[in-house]
Chain A
Amino acid sequence: MPLLKNGAVIDDKWRRLADEDPLPGTDAVIVTLARWRADRALAGRLGPLGLALKNSEPVQALAEELHYFELVVLEFPKFTDGRAYSQARLLRERHGFRGELRATGQVLLDQLLFMQRCGFDAFEIAKGQPVEAWRKATASFSVFYQPTGDGREAVDSLRRVLGGRA
C-alpha cells in the first residue's frame, strides 16, 4: 500500500510481524502490543522496532516504554471511528513521542488535515492521489481555532499577539 510521509509517497521499509512469526535479524518490524508485552527479548533487539496499537489500547500505559519504538501505528478501522485522534495527541503532546506516527485502516484523503493536526506524519492510503491530496489538505486552511501540538498558532493567540481585531 502506498505510504505518504511528509507529503511524498515513499517506500515502506517496515514489515508487520504476526504474533507467531519468527523475529528476523535486524529488519524494521512492527509488532502488536500483545507481542511486545509477551516477548521481553524485543526490548534488547538491534533492528528498528515499531508498535501497532489498536484504538482500544490506552497509550498512557506505554509512557515509560515509548523510547523503544521508532514507529507507532494507530488504526482507523472505519474512518468514522475517531479514537486514534486522541491517541495520537496524547502520544505527541503528553508523552513526547518523536518517532513516526502512522495512520492505517480507512484513511481518507479528506481526513489528512485532522490527522496531521493531531500529530500523524505518515499515512497508509488505499486509493486516490495522495500527494495531490496532501497538498490540498495542508494548503486549504490558513486559520485554526484550537491549539494542538502541531506547531500552528491558533487564532486566539494570533489575535492577542497581533493586537486588536482586524
Chain B
Amino acid sequence: MIKEKYITNVKEISLNVSQSRIDSVRNKNITKTGLRVYDNGYIGYAGAIGNYDESDLLNKALSTLDNRISYDFGIEANKKIHEDYSTEIIDENKMLDEFETLLSVLREEQPDFYFSHKFNLTDYSVNLINENGLDLYHKDRFISLGLLFKEKKSLNIMDGFVGFEGRKYDRTLALKDIFHVLNAYKNKVDLPNKNILPVVFNTSEELPFLKFFQDLDGNNFGSGSSLLSGKMGIKVFNDNFTLYQNNNPNDIPVPFFDAEGVVNKNYRYSLIENGIVASPYTNKRISKKYNLPLTGSATCEYDGVPTLGVPALKVKESVKTAKELLGGEMGIFVLMTSGGDFTPEGNFAAPVQLGLLFDGEKFIGRLPELNISSNLFDMFGNSFRGVSKDNCSLLSTSKYMIMDMKVSKL
C-alpha cells in the first residue's frame, strides 16, 4: 500500500469595493488535506479542512477501499521539484491604504463612473507527496484587481470591467490600463460598414475556447462523441494555430503539475499543432481507457479521486503585433459578452455587450451592442489571424487573439 497526500493552502486578503470605496476586508487562511491510499489496483481517499487527526484520516481513507474504485495507472515516483513563484507584490499592511488611494484617483479623475468588486492578494500553495519518493511543491502569490464600472447616467447594473491578474502591481500602470478602457468607453463610435470584421479577444477570455473544452475532453474524444473524434493527426485548422494545455506558471498562476503528479516538458502539452489535432486532454484513467497520450490534465477535490479536469489553454503566439495582425484594419475588441455558445455542429454566436473599436494599439471608442458569429473550423481555420506577441495589459501576460467573424448590430 502506498500513501499519498495532496495539500492545498489558500491565504487571501480580499478588499471589497462598493460605490468606489472599500467597504470590507476579508481574511482567509484555509488548508485542505487529502489522503490517498493505493492498494492492489484500487484507490482509497479521505480529506480534511483545517486540523485533523492523522489516524482518523487514514482509517477513513482505508474504509473507502471498499468502494473498489480501480486505480491501476502507475503512481508517480522519485521526483522532487519545488518551485516558488511568489514575490513581494505589495506589503499586506499597506494594501488597504494603497487601494484607497487608487480609488480616490479614480473618483477624482473618472467622476462619471461608479466602481465596484474586489482587490485580492492571494498566496497559494499545493504539495503532492507520496511514499514512492514523489514530492512536488508549487507556491505562488498573485494579485487580482477587478473593477466593474458603471456610468453614473447608465441604466445598466454594470457597463464594463477593467482589471488584471498577475504577479506585479504598480499604481501608475494600473491606472493607465483602467483609463485606457474608460476613455474609449466615453467615446461612442459606429461599427465599420462591413459584414466580416477582425474580432479581437483577450486570450484569457474563455468564450472562443468553449468548444475545445468540450470536444478536446478525452472522454468525449475517445468515445466518439466529439466533433474532433477520429481526427487525430489530421489537419483541420489553420497552419498558424497551435493550442497548448497550459500548466506553465510563467504564463498564468497555475501549478506546474496536475493532481496525479504529471509534469510536462515546458509545463505545456500540444493539443493542436500547426492546425493538426495532436491529442485531446487526458488524465491517467482516460489515457489508458482510450489509448490516448497522457497530457496531465487531472484535477481533484481535496477529499476525492483524481478526475479529468478542464485545463488552462494557451494559443501559441505569432511573431506579429496586434497592429500587424490587423494589417491596417480596425478590430472589434470584445470586452464583455452576454453568454454565447456553440451548437453541436460547431456554429458559434454571441451577443457582445461591450465592444471597443481597436486599431491594434489603442482602444478608439465604444461600439453599439453587437452579434458576432462564425463556426469553430472557420474561427481557428481560414479566419484565424493569430495571437499577438504584444500583451493586452501592462500588468498581465494576456495577448490579443484575432480572427475574422460576421459582425452585426444587435
Please say whether chains A and B are actual partners in one complex: no
CB within 8 Å of B: which residues of A?
none
